[in-house]
Amino acid sequence: MIVIKEKSACCGCQACKMACPAKCISMVCDNEGFLYPKVNQADCLDCHLCEKTCPLLNKTTVRETAPVACFAAISKDAETRLLSSSGGVFSLLAESIIKQGGVVFGAQFDDQFTVCHSCTETMDGLAPLRGSKYAQSDLRNSYSQVRQFLKEKRPVLFTGTPCQIAGLRGYLQNKDDDSLFLVSVVCHGAPSPQVWKEYLMHVTNDTLPTAVSMRDKTEGWSRYKMVIKRNHETCLNTTATDTPFMRAFLSNLTLRPSCYSCQFRGDHGSDLTLGDYWGIEEIHPDMSDDKGTSLILVYTSKGQQLLSNLDLKLKESRYEDAVKGNPSIIYSAYRPAERTLFWRAFRRHGAKALNDYTTENNTARVRRLWARLLRKFRIG
């Protein structure tokens, strides 16, 4: 039976819950807003399937090789590219699977603006999956749905963070299926869904928005913005560096504990990995126009096959060059010394704490210093 002793030992993929034949595992939110499995022992059959599917307990699910190829890529569909976070490669891959009668899984906002995994079989259904959502996605029952579609011999494209891909592989017991295509995103780390929700409600004065973009590129890919709208009113329109939620994400304060020692950097079992090709202006200036350039890492021949016949401007690149501008490919995010203090402040002050802990104004610095001294005094 799965027992989570250390929070860092669970990535929240929910493979254990979905694999449990007795349905005795539920996912419970901790005080940072992350989901962890809880077993109802009375109903447990002691079959150990939960442990056998866990991608963290079964490190063999992770292959340790460098990509076989690396590309800079730009979708030739300018409209879709503008709506995508990077170069719009996800949409092209998804469209090609749908044209073959397949199903595409990815992260979207639900009607409460919680990030969750969902699937679509239509071109129109791709719009909500497009674009990065910087909160950990709740996988709900998506792995079981994947298995069902595979049984029906439908092509399936499953996209998500590296740990979500490893979780799905664990759930399917690492059985390869020619109809299953696995595409991960390079992942800096998964921010708390609770912080996202509280920040959103703070910005919108406790009413649900009608549209959210965490990677609005209308003023350029490099100066991307977070835009939140309620009908015709703009509640927020700020660059990442001016957005407390994004600053907290990028300074690692709000990430899931397992992200600080991520076990799925490099090759984690996906066919392709997509990211932003940061630094492209120096490496391949002809692929740089500040409208978004994707990085594609190819791990398998199936991945190579996925890329053929896409309407892409593609340029072969060196893995070492890609890693230089994008350390998240190989390194876990560092755990900031102030993480504990931040969470204490967040529980007390809510979204306001995001600003205090991500701006170096004197008040915040002095408050933090005091808190640190008090803590030291109490511990010592």
Interface with ligand FAD (CB under 6 A), residue from 25, 74, 89, 287: 89
Binding range to ligand FAD, per CB under 6 A, among 32-40, 64-72, 185-193, 200-208: 185-193
Rounded to whole angstroms, the Cα distance separating 111 from 334 reads 33
CB 292 within 8 A of CB 85: yes
Q: How many residues does the chain have?
A: 380
Between 25 and 139, whose beta carbon lies closer to ligand FAD? 139
Write out the DSSP string of 114-142.
Answer: -EEEEEESSSGGGGGG-S---SPPB-TTH
Rounded to whole angstroms, the Cα distance separating 145 from 138 reads 14
* CA of residue 96 relative to chain centroid, distance: 22
Between 276 and 356, whose beta carbon lies closer to ligand FAD? 276
Shortest reach from residue 297's CB to ligand FAD, in Å: 10
CA count, 13 A, side-chain hemisphere, 313? 14
Total residues interacting with ligand FAD, rule: CB under 6 A: 33
Cβ partners under 8 Å of residue 194, min gap 6: 29, 32, 33, 34
Write out the DSSP string of 38-58.
Answer: EE-GGG-----HHHHH-TTT-
Q: Which two tokens stand for residue 290?
A: 């500040």
- Tokens 């210093």 identify what position? 369
Binding range to ligand FAD, per CB under 6 A, among 59-67, 200-208, 271-279, 349-357: 271-279
Q: Is 268 in the site for ligand FAD (CB under 6 A)?
A: no
Rounded to whole angstroms, the Cα distance separating 171 from 254 reads 27
Binding range to ligand FAD, per CB under 6 A, among 5-13, 140-148, 174-182, 268-276: 268-276
For residues 307 to 336, the per-residue mask of contacts with ligand FAD, x marking binding by CB under 6 A and - elsewhere, is: -------------------x-x--------
Q: Is 134 in the site for ligand FAD (CB under 6 A)?
A: yes
- The kind and range of the H/E element at 159 are strand 156-160
Q: Is 256 in the site for ligand FAD (CB under 6 A)?
A: no
Between 51 and 77, whose beta carbon lies closer to ligand FAD? 77
Q: Is 132 in the site for ligand FAD (CB under 6 A)?
A: yes
Q: Is 126 in the site for ligand FAD (CB under 6 A)?
A: no
Q: Is 116 in the site for ligand FAD (CB under 6 A)?
A: no
For residues 187 to 226, the per-residue mask of contacts with ligand FAD, x marking binding by CB under 6 A and - elsewhere, is: xx-x------------------------------------
> Which residue ranges make up the site for ligand FAD (CB under 6 A)?
84-91, 106-107, 115, 129-135, 137, 159-161, 185-188, 190, 274-276, 294, 326, 328
